[in-house]
Structure 1
Amino acid sequence: MDGARRRRETAGRDLPLARPRRSRRVRQVVGALLLLPAVGFVLALTLALVYSAVMPPSTLMLGRWLTLQPVSRDPVPLSAIAPALPQAVIASEDQRFCLDHGVDFGAIRDVVEDEDSPSRGASTIAMQTVKNVFLWPGRSYIRKAVEIPLALALDTLWGKRRMMEIYLNVAEWGDGIYGAQAASRHWFGKDASRLTRNEAALLAAVLPNPITRSAGRPSPGVRRRAARIQAMMGQIDGLTGCLRR
């Protein structure tokens, strides 16, 4: 009887020890999960330093290379792209490009408050560049939670000219067609430096959905959108000063 009693007492003393061990393992797992975003953010900033001097690919381009699909891109500096194209993109995508710091918090607040508001209206050129270079396509709160701090950081690190230069070299303008130079040669048979205002407006008009829309064979809807963009281009000259040297 005494032996059985001692075993029960010993087992009872051992039970509390199991709980701290489980709690410690839970804390370790939670800590690792919390550390992952920080590690990813530091890795992205490290790559961003490299991309300050080297033109990056987009994640869509990497996906095509990994699946052995063709990619057409010829990176060029911003000075080799007709000024009409960044002007058209700013008019169409982000008229506060030179004024914000990578994120338009007012537009984001409007989207949150209005469920029917188009999400692209809150996405700045910096946010789209971050998505194209570092993140995945599709919409999710997780991606936005990563996209916003990266856009703020890279807007400072790269500056406006480099941000626009990268954006225009990774943007998709057709199936496997990336960057302004490849798009200009494919759709108009000329270098990006020779784009007209109308051609630049057509390229900007297809950016929301470059797979179903064509700059070279524009539908009536794309032509109407391009005409609106071209009209806005004449009204935003004072909002593109950050792109000048």
Structure 2
Amino acid sequence: MRSAWRLFVLIVLGGIALQLYFVARIALMTVVNPQSTTFQRSEMFRLARDKHQVLWSQEWRPYNEISDNLKRAVIASEDANFVDHSGVEWEALRNAWKRNNQAQVKVDRARAQAQARHERALERAKARGRKMPEPPARALAATPKVIGGSTITQQLAKNLFLSGERNFLRKGQEFAITFMLEGLLGKERILGIYLNNVEWGEGVFGAQAAARHYFHVDASQLSATPAGRLAVMLPAPKRFEKNPQSGYVAGRGATIAARLLGVELP
């Protein structure tokens, strides 16, 4: 019992120490720009491992040197209530959880149906002495499309400090870091750090790199239309960078651009 109690105390003290570490790191960000994020470092490692080179583009820009069009477009696309919430949109999380559960049920049902069809096909092939059919690998390997309900602050918390794992412990840590960011930095600083570090393509990080890569201008010069297109790319930048001029990006970007005047900045 004493050993168990000591272990429990050590775990609690370790958890407190970790939270103090995060607090100290975030407090430092009030005056020092973060040089890299956990997500960026993992991407560097992946590129070095898989491609044996690291093609990297990132250049920090102060908040007032990033186009207001891009700030408004990102808020409109990613987190419409950014200036009003305290870091977490609970209703959006509930809706995302519900939709993800529904998507999982659909995928599970489709897998079961595919498996049942394959078993019937096996029985028919066996009865007729024919070659056994291959299992429906695509249907059996299908995964549901996960919908996120994270705010800009939550996305920044994940990118700065956390891995890509999905479990309750990691989600709880994400909430804790989110509230630290909101309490210590404020909305303007959060948005500035986010825009300077978010991924806009493989090895393309931050507003300046994205503006130069896709539109050959500085981040301060982005007009409404390109700003809207960049905002559309954020949920899946590696997918959209393959065709940044696609009809979906152009159409959705135009919709966001038309809404910019109604978006409040911090």
TM class by shorter chain equals 0.7 to 0.9
1:104 partnered with 2:83 = no
Report if aligned partners of 1:203, 1:215 keep a CA contact under 8 Å in 2.
no
For residue 179 of structure 1, the aligned residue among 206, 209, 213 is 206
Q: Distance in 2 between matches of 1:65 and 1:110?
A: 34
Q: Distance in 1 between matches of 2:184 and 2:238?
A: 31
Letter in 2 for 1:50: L
Q: Distance in 2 between matches of 1:216 and 1:112?
A: 30
Q: Distance in 2 between matches of 1:70 and 1:64?
A: 11
Paired residue secondary structure (2:237):
coil
Letter in 2 for 1:62: R
Paired residue secondary structure (2:200):
coil
Q: Distance in 2 between matches of 1:233 and 1:139?
A: 33
Letter in 1 for 2:96: V
Q: What does residue 30 of structure 2 align with?
A: 52
Report if aligned partners of 1:126, 1:163 keep a CA contact under 8 Å in 2.
yes
The TM-score normalised by the length of structure 2 is 0.75
For residue 189 of structure 1, the aligned residue among 216, 234, 237 is 216
Paired residue secondary structure (1:149):
helix
Report if aligned partners of 1:188, 1:216 keep a CA contact under 8 Å in 2.
no
Q: What does residue 206 of structure 1 align with?
A: 233
Letter in 2 for 1:155: E
1:33 partnered with 2:11 = yes
Larger radius of gyration: 1
What's the offset of the Cα at 1:70? Answer: 3.4
Alignment map for 1:115-126 (pairs within 5 Å): 115-116=101-102, 119-120=147-148, 122-126=149-153
1:233 partnered with 2:260 = yes
What's the offset of the Cα at 1:113? Answer: 4.4
Q: Distance in 2 between matches of 1:147 and 1:65?
A: 22
What percent of counterpart residues are identical? 32
Answer with 202-211 or 140-149: which moved more. 140-149
Alignment map for 1:60-99 (pairs within 5 Å): 60-65=39-44, 67=48, 69-99=54-84
Q: Distance in 2 between matches of 1:111 and 1:38?
A: 30
Report if aligned partners of 1:93, 1:125 keep a CA contact under 8 Å in 2.
yes
Letter in 1 for 2:231: A
Paired residue secondary structure (2:157):
helix
Q: 1:131 to 1:33 in 2, by over 3 A?
A: same
Q: Distance in 1 between matches of 2:13 and 2:255?
A: 46
Letter in 1 for 2:40: M
Report if aligned partners of 2:196, 2:205 keep a CA contact under 8 Å in 1.
yes
Q: 1:221 to 1:154 in 2, by over 3 A?
A: same
Q: Aligned pair count? A: 216
What's the offset of the Cα at 1:141? Answer: 2.5
Tell me the C-alpha RMSD between the 2 structures.
Answer: 2.1
Paired residue secondary structure (1:148):
helix
Q: What does residue 137 of structure 1 align with?
A: 164
The structure, 1 or 2, with the larger RCO (C-alpha pairs under 8 Å, 6+ apart) is: 2
What's the offset of the Cα at 1:26? Answer: 1.6
Q: Distance in 2 between matches of 1:164 and 1:190?
A: 21
Paired residue secondary structure (2:241):
coil
Paired residue secondary structure (1:173):
strand
Q: Distance in 2 between matches of 1:208 and 1:86?
A: 16
Q: Distance in 2 between matches of 1:176 and 1:195?
A: 20
Q: Distance in 1 between matches of 2:97 and 2:247?
A: 32
Instruction: Structure 2: state its 5+ residue gaps.
Output: 104-145
Answer with 138-147 or 193-202: which moved more. 138-147
Letter in 2 for 1:102: G
Instruction: Structure 1: state its 5+ residue gaps.
Output: 1-22
Q: What does residue 15 of structure 1 align with?
A: none
Q: 1:158 to 1:216 in 2, by over 3 A?
A: farther
Q: Deviation string for 1:128-152 (max 9, x for gaps)?
A: 1111111123533222111112111
